[in-house]
């Protein structure tokens, strides 16, 4: 399998620099790569015959599945048809472009009656894209995750243009999909049989696991003026149209503060107080060193002493931002400068819902062009509301200001009650915003994990058959993991409620899910693997740090239409649990190398985690393939993320195979478990940050 891994890895690198079409032609669809895959398939058949695997049903199913899946892929390549059909309203088009300079013609007519973009209520953010068609004389509707089938052809919504045209993906693969799905079913059957069979290696490990505990063990400055906290909180309870959704103003304030300062609070002030300071005390805040700047060279150009500078200092050096293209650090500073300009120009707070002459409801900021149908009183209300609030702030009449904020909220309910989020979602989002932790939670988690790990290393081995024999630091580490996991579950649940969908569509969310999975898994494993909680604490801390690499907690946002599928939730959950298990295995192997006397026992525990980890990774890849087939009509596209997930699966098969060889090197097993995790790192971070592709998190 080594040549396959090398070829797959090379394909992703070639795609990075030469593009997908070049990689497909010269690697994935080349004669030598197809021959390589054919050798793998023949090798599986040879292994079945030579080892008489029909006596071991689960192995027979698993080896057979590989050959069947490869055959399905070959049939898709040789007999399938895939292309795009561009449609204009009222025009019959049957010719599909296959993207390789060729085309094929549909045996029936397809006419686009009309195309529509469905938006989230009260916003302009797209919720779905819908094509209304007449296919072979019959009406048909196609939308995201809602395909249409006719005479063996499948149609998917792919794109649209501003003239009302629609682009559909067309797939005709009568043999490849059926055979490939049969292979998937064989994989699932084989995995289930393996975990249930009393004669499988995994079940023998489970029965033979010993009950012994295996352990290894500056000067403060006065904050500028702002609104009192209760008044700022009142302001934060109003609604605002922000990032394509209607949410509490508190959410915008949190993101604004985090964007500028890198944290959600400043000098003990809440995000709402920071935002209100810029709105009503802009003179002081423009001189406040609150804007975080990265890059030593940029620090020197701006004359900075530390990491933060003021808005006025950025304005004084605005000539730096004139060149194009801007370097990364300068571009980030320019974004912050422009963000403050938008706030000072009263163009960011879209808090006024107004309907135009057609009855379409939109949200406006104070200085936005308003609908011509807006009445005089309402026009003055929108144009003067913030100015009136400014007068009250100057007078110090915060009681009246509270009333103005309450009246504005009442106005929002009166004008837009049908599109406002439910009280439960608002409460969930406000609580989520208030629980922003910053990086300190990750640092504390890593620190405690290291402390407990060192204590475990120094403790040696002890019997675990009596409760009082367990050292205190094991119980303490388990308690910390339990509390941390509960907190992360709360964050996950609040984001789910506030957003209306499972938060699994980005890097931040997947890292949080992986942290939760590691916490739960470590608690489940603690009885037989007591070092698991300390390892999990370190791993969770690193995951939380990675989750916040781009800042603090990201905002809750509407889900892209194509991601509105339950298969996405299942796919991400399964994959993240597998990655969490791989991470625990890696730390376990590190501990085993540090304590040679415990290598055998830790190997057994690692194998107990490796089998389900590999099984879950395979299951996650299959679910992802089915989801892609439902959404795009193609179950495998050789995207770098897909390829590296496959590489990871192949790489982790080796330590499983090594453990079944009599007299194998335990040290070699642990080294491979550590090195293998590099494939996970590349799959998650290398693809996202370097290789790119349609699966990369932005």
In the structure encoding, which two tokens stand for residue 435, read together?
């629980």
Domain count, the chain: 5
Percentage of residues in the chain with pLDDT exceeding 70?
A: 88
Q: Which of 2-6, 92-96, 428-432, 568-572 has the lowest mean pLDDT?
A: 568-572
Boundary-marking domain end, from 371, 395, 430: 430
Let me know whether 109 and 42 are in one domain: no
Give residue 438's pLDDT: 67
Q: What is the chain's mean pLDDT, rounded?
A: 82
Among 453, 540, 471, 507, smallest CA distance to 684 is for 507
Answer for the pair 537, 452: CB distance below 8 angstroms, yes or no: yes
* pLDDT tier for residue 533 given thresholds of 50, 70 and 90: confident
Give residue 559's pLDDT: 54
At 72-98, the pLDDT tens digits run 988 988 888 888 899 999 989 899 988
Let me know whether 381 and 244 are in one domain: yes
At 535-563, the pLDDT tens digits run 888 888 877 776 765 444 455 555 555 55
Let me know whether 272 and 385 are in one domain: yes
Let me know whether 285 and 157 are in one domain: no
Boundary-marking domain end, from 430, 464, 485: 430
Let me know whether 546 and 572 are in one domain: no
- Read off the CATH number of the domain in which 154 is found: 2.60.98
Let me know whether 387 and 489 are in one domain: no
213 has a pLDDT exceeding 80:
no
Let me know whether 301 and 413 are in one domain: yes
Let me know whether 509 and 637 are in one domain: no
Let me know whether 260 and 367 are in one domain: yes
In terms of pLDDT, which residue wins out, 203 or 303? 303
CA distance 532 to 541: 14
214 has a pLDDT exceeding 60:
no
Residue 195 lies in a domain: no
Phi, psi of 198 (to 5 degrees): -70, -15
Residue 679's alpha-carbon distances to 499, 643, 644, 686, in angstroms, are 32, 11, 7, 9
Let me know whether 420 and 467 are in one domain: no
Give residue 437's pLDDT: 64
In terms of pLDDT, which residue wins out, 199 or 481? 481
Tell me the residue range of the domain where 39 lies: 2-79+177-182
696 has a pLDDT exceeding 90:
no
623 has a pLDDT exceeding 90:
no
Give residue 552's pLDDT: 47
CA distance 223 to 203: 62
Cis status, amide bond into 572, omega within 30 of 0? no
Let me know whether 64 and 109 are in one domain: no
Per the listing, tokens 């069947």 go with 68
Round to the nearest angstrom and report the end-to-end CA distance of the chain: 32
* pLDDT tier for residue 463 given thresholds of 50, 70 and 90: very low
- Average pLDDT for residues 173-194, to the nearest whole number? 89
- Please report the DSSP string for 204-273 in residue order: HHHHH---SB--------PPPP---HHHHHHHHTSEEEETTEEEEHHHHHHHHHHHHHSSS-BTTB-HHH
361 has a pLDDT exceeding 80:
yes
Let me know whether 460 and 324 are in one domain: no
Give residue 570's pLDDT: 76
Residue 196 lies in a domain: no
Give residue 105's pLDDT: 92
Q: Which of 344-353, 541-550, 649-658 has the lowest mean pLDDT?
A: 541-550
């Amino acid at each position: 399998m080594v040549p396959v891994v090398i070829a797959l890895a090379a394909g992703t690198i070639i795609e990075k620099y030469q593009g997908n079409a070049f990689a497909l032609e010269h690697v994935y669809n080349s004669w030598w790569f197809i021959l390589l895959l054919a050798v793998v398939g023949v090798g599986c058949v040879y292994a079945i015959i030579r080892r008489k695997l029909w006596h071991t049903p689960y192995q027979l199913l698993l080896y057979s599945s590989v050959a069947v899946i490869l055959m399905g892929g070959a049939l898709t390549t040789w007999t399938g048809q895939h292309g795009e059909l561009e449609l204009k309203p009222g025009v019959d088009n049957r010719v599909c472009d296959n993207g390789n300079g060729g085309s094929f013609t549909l045996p029936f007519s397809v006419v686009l009656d009309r195309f529509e973009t469905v938006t989230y209520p009260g916003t302009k953010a797209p919720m779905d894209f819908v094509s209304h068609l007449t296919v072979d004389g019959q009406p048909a509707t196609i939308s995201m995750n809602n395909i249409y089938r006719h005479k063996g052809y499948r149609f998917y919504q792919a794109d649209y243009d501003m003239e009302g045209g629609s682009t559909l993906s067309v797939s005709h693969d009568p043999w490849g999909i059926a055979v490939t799905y049969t292979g998937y079913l064989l994989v699932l059957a084989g995995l289930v049989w393996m975990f249930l069979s009393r004669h499988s290696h995994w079940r023998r490990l489970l029965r033979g696991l010993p009950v012994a505990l295996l352990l290894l063990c500056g000067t403060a400055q006065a904050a500028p003026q702002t609104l009192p906290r209760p008044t700022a909180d009142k302001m934060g309870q109003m609604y605002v149209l922000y990032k394509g959704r209607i949410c509490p103003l508190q959410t915008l304030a949190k993101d604004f503060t985090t964007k500028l300062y890198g944290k959600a609070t400043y000098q003990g002030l809440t995000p709402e107080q920071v935002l209100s300071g810029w709105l009503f005390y802009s003179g002081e805040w423009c001189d406040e060193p609150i804007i975080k700047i990265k890059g030593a060279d940029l620090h020197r150009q701006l004359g900075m002493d530390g990491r933060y500078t003021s808005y006025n200092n950025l304005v004084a050096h605005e000539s730096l931002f004139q060149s194009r293209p801007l370097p990364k650090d300068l571009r980030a500073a320019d974004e912050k400068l422009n963000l403050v300009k938008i706030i000072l120009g009263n163009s960011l707070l879209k808090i006024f819902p107004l309907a135009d002459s057609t009855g379409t409801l939109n949200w406006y900021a104070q200085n936005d062009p308003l609908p011509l149908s807006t009445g005089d009183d309402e026009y003055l209300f929108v144009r003067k509301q913030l100015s009136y609030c400014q007068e009250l702030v100057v007078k110090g009449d915060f009681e009246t200001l509270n009333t103005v904020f309450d009246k504005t909220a009442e106005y929002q309910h009166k004008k837009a009650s049908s599109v406002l989020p439910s009280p439960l979602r608002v409460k969930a989002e406000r609580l989520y915003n208030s629980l922003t932790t910053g990086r300190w939670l990750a640092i504390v988690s890593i620190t405690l994990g290291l402390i407990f790990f060192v204590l475990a290393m120094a403790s040696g081995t002890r019997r675990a058959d009596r409760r009082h024999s367990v050292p205190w630091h094991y119980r303490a580490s388990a308690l910390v993991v339990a509390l941390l996991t509960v907190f992360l579950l709360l964050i996950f649940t609040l984001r789910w409620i506030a957003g209306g969908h499972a938060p699994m569509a980005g890097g931040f969310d997947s890292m949080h899910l992986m942290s939760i999975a590691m916490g739960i898994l470590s608690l489940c494993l603690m009885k037989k693997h007591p070092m698991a909680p300390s390892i999990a604490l370190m791993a969770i801390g690193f995951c939380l740090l990675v989750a916040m690499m781009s800042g603090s907690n990201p905002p809750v946002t509407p889900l892209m239409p194509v991601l509105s599928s339950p298969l996405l939730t299942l796919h991400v959950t399964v994959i993240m649990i597998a990655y969490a298990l791989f991470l625990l295995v890696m730390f376990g192997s590190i501990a085993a190398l540090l304590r040679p006397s415990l290598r055998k026992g830790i190997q057994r525990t690692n194998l107990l985690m490796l089998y389900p980890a590999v099984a879950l990774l395979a299951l996650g890849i299959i679910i992802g393939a089915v989801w892609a087939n439902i959404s795009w009509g193609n179950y495998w596209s050789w995207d770098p993320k897909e390829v590296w997930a496959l590489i990871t699966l192949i790489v982790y098969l080796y330590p499983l195979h090594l453990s079944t060889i009599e007299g194998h090197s335990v040290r070699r097993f642990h080294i491979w478990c550590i090195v293998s995790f590099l494939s996970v790192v590349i799959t998650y971070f290398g693809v996202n940050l370097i290789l790119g592709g349609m699966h990369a998190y932005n």
